[in-house]
Structure 1
Amino acid sequence: MTILELQQLKESEDKVEFKAATKNYSFAGSEHRDQAERRRCFLGYVVAFANEGGGMLVLGMADKAPHEVVGSDFGQGQIGALEDETYSRLGIRVRMEELYENGLRVLVAHIPSRPVGKMLKFEGVPLMRVGESLRNMSDEEMFAILSEQEPDFSAKICEGLKIADLDESAIKAMKESYALKQKNPGFIQLSTEQVLSDLRLQEEGRLNYAALILLGKKEIIREKLPQCKTIWEFRATESQIHHDTREVIEEPLFLAITQMWRLINQPTLNKKYPIQVGAYIFDLFDFNEAVIREAVLNAEAHRDYSITSEVVIKQYPAKIVITNPGGFPKGVTIENLLTVSSTPRSRLMTEILEKTGLVERSGQGVDKIFSITLSEGKAEPDYSDSNMYQVSLVLRSEIIDKAFHIFISQYQNSDREPKLGVEQIITLCKIRNGISQNLKGAMVSQLEKMGLIQKLSGHTLRYTLSEEYEQLVSDGLKIGKRYIVQELERILLELQGNALKVGALEASMEDFMKRSQIRYLLLKLVDDEVVIVDGKLRGTRYSLSEKFKDLRGDKLIAEVLAFLRGRYDSL
């Protein structure tokens, strides 16, 4: 905008607020003790504008018409930091714009609307503007917001969309998936028109956005709904900003999901770890296919298609981050994610994904993500970076407890009943981690009767996992008769990127191992070609072999353990 255009605006009609803010305009009001004064700050007005559907806060122009330019130093030279701090505190992206007239600076803050059914708060209070003041939102206003219903975008008619604009391969994939899920092989033989009508993708000859998103040719999707795409990126380290590889997926969802998984599941990016304990042999991957498909399809089905942003998948060696525009559906928070029944934004599209077996029954997809991930001995799925405007899911690849995976898998694969659900598995994780407070009494009682937990000796309200788990932990600490895993991990971490003498290793590991133990372990590692020797006598140094020298941290440990376990199949 130009300053002249700003001067033509009217505050009430054009959703704009002018403030002189010439010197020391407050960002968060913390320097004031009076509540009314504290609110009349930058963040207070951002909250109020967002609650009213968005607008502009103009600093550096007089409040009264014709809004003379007086100049403001607020945020000068710190626009990026101002946007970041606003987002950090409110979870809202405010775009800043600087204008100048006769050397005087004007700052325009473009404030977006709050999401449907949600309100922003300043110091715990939802605010509205009244003249020059900011007041508490009334009970009636809050109830009206909380009662709002998001329209089903996917059921909305996509004007001009024709059957010829749909991808035949996607239609075929949808028919086959539906026939398999519903055990109805005759469905494949139905005409496209009949299928579209039966699944409510076509109403009175007109196709809706669900048809476009699920089945549309990519050039048609690009034309009618350009934000309906998914960005996949890979970075070799979590600290780097620029990606190593990037792909834009614009195909219809019935084809795109396979393409996304193919990118994530490249052999060099999704590694397999064969693990054997006793007679139990299993393979674990960095990223589980069922978890990834459910997480990605949840992001696609629950995203807000009115926001011109894409679903983004960022893959790293040790984690995947899946982000979709739009916060959680109405009524869902991080705290109640596993317990509340929500209404999806795109209800029609979600129903079709359920009927074709691509996702779990509505409200159970997150359960599946948690159940499988925790059962594999990995960290809990992390939604903590989510806010009102995006949902962000972090899935980590590190197997932090192999014994727990075996413990759960052996029970689930046995004839013992009942089988474990997500709440039982989460409770078992908490007990494994030493948490006994605030557990559901009925759940604890059930797990005790199932023989999966037991009371700690001398305690009536503290529990531990059963002896079966403890035995698995004990067995899993050894590789054949040669290595103790804990000792092996410590020496590998010392050697990563280093060529060290025994003395240097002894100095850093004296609390864990004696010199004789270190020397004995090094000789075994040399025999097994994990470590190489350079030099003689006092100049002897030990370093990782060519196969492992470039690996670090968890990857190094996992690769060496897998290599050694492959050698000692008596494990």
Structure 2
Amino acid sequence: MKERISLAVDELIAFANCKGGTVYLGVEDNCDVTGCTGKYDIQAISESIYDKTRPPMFTEIEEIEYEGKKVIAISVEADGKTYATTDGRCLKRLGKNSKPYYPDEMSNIYSAYHSNDFSSQIIAESSVDDINLMVVYALKEKLKIRDSSSTLPDLDDMAFLRDLKLIVEENGQIRLTIAGLLFVGKEQSIQRLLPQAEVIYLHYGKDNLEEYNARLDMKQPIITILDRLTEKIQNENKIENVQIGLFRLEVADFSEKVFQEALLNALSHRDYQQMGAVYVKHYPDKIVIENPGGFLDGITADNIITHPSAPRNKLIAETLQSLKYVQRTGQGVDIIYKEMVSMGKPYPVYRVFSDSVQLTIESAMEDPDFVRFIVKEQDSKQINLSLSQLMILRYIVENRKIKFADVQKVAQISAEEARKCCAELMKFGLIEITGKEYMLTARVYEAVKSDIEYTRDKTVQYIKAKDMITEYIKLQGYINRSTVQELCGFTDQQARRTIEKMKEENIIEMSNGGRYAKYILKEI
């Protein structure tokens, strides 16, 4: 079996370096089925192939029974990488045979351009004929509108593309980079040179959420795709009006800013070496965007807002910034979150798989009162609440209170940043400390909840403190104000108020005054 696996590795490498294929163990060259005999382990075969290839190769292995004999089918896909054995042999498939794959051929159609960024690699088989000059013209015209101070549109077409690093000159010939093909390539050129660069739009009606009723397959430049899909979404957008005094705020099902940021994020972060397409699934109440390629190392759904920017395709991200489609290179996730939170919509939901990422954006506006309050507060105080502050407020509105440790977790920020955020919210009169937790102030309750709920929450907190103080005195004989602070997690002022209230209710009395006053249970 070891000998068969070694032979299979060579064939699998040859297949992977071309169009992919399947190796059958237990079938002779003349197609006679002899089967696999002796002991073998499918997992061990998979690991052996993985260990014998560079980069390590992932395969699919299936055991097939044919006329009482077992055949092992090992399949590999072409993923754009160049594979070799661990001892340095590289092969490619030529008809029915495998042949050596020499270094001068290994660039495939992409050649490295002093960078590990796939989107900045040069497409060796491209030429000036692959450039769609109408798209170049459209990009320049749109940039004039987006940034009237930009001098890029004043350049001639080739200088414009060269400045953006979308084209380079090689031996006197113009070549496109991957990013260049994706921004200004002709449709047939994208199909020929990078067929996996596809976006598939699926529309679902409210009567059938399982099967789509419209489909659009696009192998077009990034901005063309963005414009077409934005129009699709906007055409079906419903508007909900939120009255704020004399002003009426229109809240769309799907914000154009959120959708465009999410789609551009998917297109700039997808793995273009994987053969899958980006999917945009448009449901009546949500949009789901799926793109090939999992999160880069260190990024998770729990830190995606604040993790340092790490675009998978740096040149694509930089081009979007230069064309003023994004404010900066990076994720843009914070923009998506802030817009969704301030419009009272559910948080965007990221689901991460080993080889893909899925983002769900919902249309429902869950809390119009919260939206009204945030708009009025920012307008009246001439402030711009940060995303972290909005997330903290949103959490307290939904959960009544928040502990300091949860502030860090909810807003995905450090302890120092959490303290600063809470301090500013207290300064704005939006939250207050109750024991070891933060809650909304009375005026915020009045705007987003009710004075009944505010009074109830404060009452519950006092009842808990009263019970703890009473039990402590029963055990220790007395209590002082500093102990009340420590026991209940109060500030000095809160401890004073609680003691005074318990005195008014004839529960405790002072046994001796002064700086270190002690309080005991009052005899009835």
Same fold (TM over 0.5): yes
* Percent identity between the two aligned chains: 29
Contact (CA 8 Å) 1:326, 1:391: kept in 2 or not? yes
Q: Which residue matches 2:521?
A: none
Q: Which whole-Å CA distance do the structure 1 matches of 2:366 and 2:48 have between them?
A: 46
Q: Which residue matches 2:319?
A: 352
2:64 paired residue among 99, 109, 112: 99
Rate the CA distance shift 1:307–1:11 in 2: closer, same or farther, 3 A. closer
Alpha-carbon offset, residue 408 of structure 1: 1.9
1:342 paired residue among 309, 313, 318: 309
Counterparts of 1:144-293 in structure 2, within 5 Å, are 151-184=116-149, 186-204=151-169, 205-237=174-206, 240-267=209-236, 270-293=237-260
Rate the CA distance shift 1:50–1:312 in 2: closer, same or farther, 3 A. farther
Report the 3-state secondary structure (helix = DSSP H, G, I; strand = E; otherwise coil) of the residue aligned with 1:408.
helix
Alpha-carbon offset, residue 172 of structure 1: 2.0
Alpha-carbon offset, residue 26 of structure 1: 9.9
Report the 3-state secondary structure (helix = DSSP H, G, I; strand = E; otherwise coil) of the residue aligned with 2:289.
strand
Alpha-carbon offset, residue 197 of structure 1: 1.4
Amino acid at match of 1:213: L
Amino acid at match of 1:252: P
Alpha-carbon offset, residue 318 of structure 1: 0.9
Alpha-carbon offset, residue 46 of structure 1: 10
Alpha-carbon offset, residue 414 of structure 1: 3.9
CA RMSD of aligned residues (A): 3.8
Rate the CA distance shift 1:297–1:380 in 2: closer, same or farther, 3 A. same
Amino acid at match of 1:449: K
Contact (CA 8 Å) 2:50, 2:58: kept in 1 or not? no
Q: Which residue matches 2:57?
A: 54
Report the 3-state secondary structure (helix = DSSP H, G, I; strand = E; otherwise coil) of the residue aligned with 2:402.
coil
Q: Which whole-Å CA distance do the structure 1 matches of 2:241 and 2:45 have between them?
A: 56
Alpha-carbon offset, residue 10 of structure 1: 5.1
Rate the CA distance shift 1:467–1:388 in 2: closer, same or farther, 3 A. same
Number of residue pairs matched by the alignment? 383
Q: Which residue matches 2:7?
A: 9
Contact (CA 8 Å) 1:182, 1:355: kept in 2 or not? no
1:433 paired residue among 377, 382, 398: 398
Rate the CA distance shift 1:362–1:189 in 2: closer, same or farther, 3 A. closer
Q: Out of 160-169 and 247-256, give the one that drifted further.
A: 160-169
Q: Which residue matches 1:530?
A: none
Contact (CA 8 Å) 1:166, 1:217: kept in 2 or not? yes
Rate the CA distance shift 1:42–1:282 in 2: closer, same or farther, 3 A. farther
Alpha-carbon offset, residue 265 of structure 1: 1.7
Q: Which residue matches 1:470?
A: 445
Q: Which residue matches 1:400?
A: 366
Structure having the larger proportion of residues in strand: 2
Q: Which residue matches 1:386?
A: 352
Report the 3-state secondary structure (helix = DSSP H, G, I; strand = E; otherwise coil) of the residue aligned with 2:276.
coil
Alpha-carbon offset, residue 96 of structure 1: 5.3
Rate the CA distance shift 1:360–1:25 in 2: closer, same or farther, 3 A. farther
Rate the CA distance shift 1:10–1:178 in 2: closer, same or farther, 3 A. same
Q: Which residue matches 2:431?
A: 453
Q: Which residue matches 2:102?
A: none
Rate the CA distance shift 1:108–1:442 in 2: closer, same or farther, 3 A. farther
Contact (CA 8 Å) 1:50, 1:114: kept in 2 or not? no
Rate the CA distance shift 1:45–1:314 in 2: closer, same or farther, 3 A. farther
2:339 paired residue among 355, 368, 372: 372
Alpha-carbon offset, residue 235 of structure 1: 1.2
Q: Which whole-Å CA distance do the structure 2 matches of 1:335 and 1:160 have between them?
A: 42
Structure number with greater Rg is 2
Q: Out of 422-431 and 211-220, give the one that drifted further.
A: 422-431
Structure 1: 5+ residue runs without aligned partners? Answer: 28-39, 57-94, 117-148, 476-571
Spell out, residue by residue over 1:380-437, the C-alpha distance to the aligned partner (whole angstroms, 9 max, x if none).
1100x212311110001111111111222223334433x2222222222222222512
1:332 paired residue among 296, 299, 314: 299
Q: Which whole-Å CA distance do the structure 2 matches of 1:46 and 1:444 have between them?
A: 55
Contact (CA 8 Å) 1:165, 1:216: kept in 2 or not? yes
Rate the CA distance shift 1:183–1:346 in 2: closer, same or farther, 3 A. same
Amino acid at match of 1:405: V
Counterparts of 1:23-34 in structure 2, within 5 Å, are none
Amino acid at match of 1:154: S
Rate the CA distance shift 1:6–1:394 in 2: closer, same or farther, 3 A. farther
The answer to whether the aligner puts 1:422 opposite 2:387 as a matched pair is yes
Q: Which whole-Å CA distance do the structure 2 matches of 1:441 and 1:17 have between them?
A: 63
Alpha-carbon offset, residue 448 of structure 1: 1.1
Contact (CA 8 Å) 2:277, 2:291: kept in 1 or not? yes
Spell out, residue by residue over 1:90-110, the C-alpha distance to the aligned partner (whole angstroms, 9 max, x if none).
xxxxx4545343323445465
Report the 3-state secondary structure (helix = DSSP H, G, I; strand = E; otherwise coil) of the residue aligned with 2:235.
coil
Contact (CA 8 Å) 2:310, 2:331: kept in 1 or not? no
Q: Which whole-Å CA distance do the structure 1 matches of 2:70 and 2:282 have between them?
A: 42
Alpha-carbon offset, residue 200 of structure 1: 1.4
1:411 paired residue among 374, 377, 381: 377
Q: Which whole-Å CA distance do the structure 2 matches of 1:7 and 1:442 have between them?
A: 61
Spell out, residue by residue over 1:282-339, the C-alpha distance to the aligned partner (whole angstroms, 9 max, x if none).
1111100000000000101111111111110011111110011011234322222111
Q: Which whole-Å CA distance do the structure 2 matches of 1:354 and 1:14 have between them?
A: 41
Q: Which whole-Å CA distance do the structure 1 matches of 2:38 and 2:243 have between them?
A: 68
